[in-house]
Amino acid sequence: MVSLITTFSVCGKKKSIADAHRNFVKHTGKNVSISSFWERIANKTLLDFIEKAVLKFSFHIQEKALSKLSWLSVFEDVFMYDASPIRLPAGLSNIFPGNRKNHSPACLKLSALYRLSVRSTEWIKISAQKPHDSKFLPDLNQLKGALFLFDLGYFSHAFLHQLCEIGVWFVCRLKANSVPIITKVIKGVAKGHIGRPLDKNVNLRGMIVEVWGKLNLPGKKSLEVRLIGFRFPLIKEYRWYVTNMPSSMALAEWIYPIYRLRWQIELFFKSIKSMLHADQITSENENIVLVTAYSSILASLTANSIIIEYAVVSAKIELKSITAQRIALVFSLIAHDLAKCILKKVLSQKSFIDNLKTLLPLLMCPNRKHRPTSLQIVAMFDSI
């Protein structure tokens, strides 16, 4: 298991089962034939074990990271939800059919609930690509008191109502086919439009427009939400965002930077697929495909549990400067040392920590002083 995870955690060329075999022999000293090794990886027992390891993996850093992020500390946590495809060899199209036969005939879909405070996933689901993303959702009750960010693929009036009923704060994009009825004008719209649909017939003024609107629900019910429109000069259009946070909790100009925090989960997917090689699956064996995908995810979870713990608690590095992609980069550089430390114990824990310490500067974005991240911008917000 250790050998398999660290194989797909090292940057470089496309990885194969042969690479994993060589890594196993190197770390354990056991001369196992490649056919025997292949049988072990293709075994359903290994798949079940590693899947359970991913789904039950959890850790808690010793300090609540959000408490150091100013305004964000008013929430229980910040969660992002999204899904991303993992391309597979075309020979698996019968088992894992993709949505695009020419580009991705075989594809998996990785759905994840990403937790900002620990830079890791709270919930993960691997499924076929064709079912709609909204079919795979975690237990929403765990989000009570938290800020929840998601994209248009999950938008519906009923879903927003469900979040409000649970007590979840949210920010998301407004779908083009959703036409709220204006109930209150804050700025950027003439008050004569109250009671009318928020559509192209409404004359908008200024860079930021703020109104309250009513969304229709089944049974002649409705949900009142806050709507903020941001004008993008390049496209000369407004993009609308929906939230249930009142202005006493978040200013209108904060909403777009808050929504951009959702990019953190995109960086997580990128680290899983590029840095940890989840998108470089070469086998056409169903079990090996899933073992490889789960190995990459487990590598990411392991990286977070080790690196975040040390960086935040021991080295006192500010979490707002760290992304999932940079955590994966550092882990890829210490993966073999970790394997030595666990398997053969030829590397002491102190030596491993010393090696990790020298790599911690790589966690910090080199452009952070010239181009602050979305999290750094949001962390600068002062409580109202």
Q: Give alpha helix (H) positions in 34-139.
A: 34-41, 44-56
- Asked if pLDDT for residue 61 goes beyond 60, the answer is no
**Token representation of residue 278:** 């989840």
pLDDT at 328: 78
What pLDDT, on the 0 to 100 scale, is given for residue 222?
95
Q: How far apart are CA 217 and CA 198, in angstroms?
A: 17
Q: Which of 140-154, 323-337, 356-370 has the lowest mean pLDDT?
A: 356-370
d(CA 314, CA 32): 40
Burial class of residue 280, CB neighbours in 10 A (0-12, 13-18, 19+): middle
Task: Write down the pLDDT at residue 128.
Answer: 83
> Considering only 114-128, 178-192, 307-321, 323-337, which range has the smallest mean pLDDT?
307-321
Alpha helices in the chain (DSSP H): 2-7, 17-28, 34-41, 44-56, 157-166, 255-259, 263-270, 286-308, 324-339, 349-359, 374-379
Q: Let me know: does 211 contact 184? Beta carbons within 8 Å.
A: yes
Q: 63 pLDDT band (50/70/90 cuts)?
A: very low
Strand partners, 271: none
C-alpha distance from residue 167 to each of 70, 115, 150, 229 (Å): 21, 17, 16, 24
Average pLDDT (27-38) is: 84
- Residue pair 51/290 in contact (Cβ under 8 Å)? The answer is yes
Which residues contact residue 279 at a Cβ distance below 8 angstroms, ignoring those fewer than 6 apart?
86, 87, 273
Please give the mean pLDDT across all residues of the chain. Answer: 83
Residues 176-189: what's their mean pLDDT?
Answer: 95
User: Which has the closest alpha carbon to 226: 276, 297, 171?
Assistant: 171
Lowest-pLDDT range of 151-165, 224-238, 310-324: 310-324
What Rg, from alpha-carbon coordinates, does the chain have? 23
Angle between helices 17-28 and 34-41 (to 10 degrees): 110
Residue 163 token pair: 């979040």
> What own/partner pairs with CB < 8 Å and gap ≥ 24 does 193-201 have?
198/227, 198/240
CB-based contact 123:113 (threshold 8 Å): yes
pLDDT at 276: 60
pLDDT tens column, 364-384: 767 666 567 777 778 777 755
Two tokens, residue 381: 């917000």
pLDDT band at 172 (very low <50, low <70, confident <90, very high): very high
DSSP code at position 311: I
What percent of the chain has a predicted confidence (pLDDT) above 70?
A: 85
Q: Which residues of 283-298 are buried (b: 16+ CB within 10 A; e: fewer)?
A: bebebbbbbbbbbbbb
Give the span between the Cα atoms of 41 and 29, in whole angstroms: 18
Q: Which residue type occupies 376?
A: Q
**Is the model more confident about 116 or about 141?**
141
Cβ pair 212, 184 in contact under 8 A: yes
Beta strands in 175-291, from DSSP E residues, in sequence order = 181-187, 208-217, 221-232, 237-243
Residues 281-332 pLDDT 10s: 778 888 888 888 888 888 878 877 787 777 766 666 666 667 777 887 888 8
Label residue 124 exposed, middle or buried (CB < 10 Å: 0-12, 13-18, 19+).
Answer: buried
β-pair partners for 97 = 106
Q: What's the confidence (pLDDT) of residue 315?
A: 64
